[in-house]
Amino acid sequence: MNEKILLHMCCGPCSITTVQTLQDQGYEVTGLYYNPNIHPLTEYAKRRDGCLEVAEKLGFKVLVKDGEYRPQDWFRAVAYRENNRCFHCYANRLERTASIAKRGGFDCFSTTLLYSKFQKHDDIAALGRDLEGGKTRFLYHDFREGWKEGIALSKEWGIYRQQYCGCLYSENERYHKELRTE
Cβ neighbours for 176, distance < 8 A, ≥ 6 positions apart: none
For the stretch 55-108, pLDDT in tens is 999 999 999 999 999 999 988 988 888 788 889 899 999 999 999 999 999 999
- Percent of the chain residues topping a pLDDT of 70: 96
The three state secondary structure string of 33-83 is: ECCCCCCCHHHHHHHHHHHHHHHHHHCCEEEECHHHCCHHHHHHHHCCCHH
CATH architecture of residue range(s) 4-178 = 3-Layer(aba) Sandwich (3.40)
In this prediction, residue 167 carries a pLDDT of 67
Task: Indicate the domain borders of the chain.
Answer: 4-178
Q: Assign 172 a pLDDT band (cuts: 50, 70, 90).
A: low
CA distance 151 to 98: 28
In this prediction, residue 180 carries a pLDDT of 75
- What integer best gives the mean pLDDT of the chain? 93
CA distance 140 to 172: 30
In this prediction, residue 57 carries a pLDDT of 98
In this prediction, residue 1 carries a pLDDT of 60
- Cβ atoms within 10 A of the Cβ of 113, count? 26
For the stretch 115-141, pLDDT in tens is 999 899 999 999 999 999 889 999 999
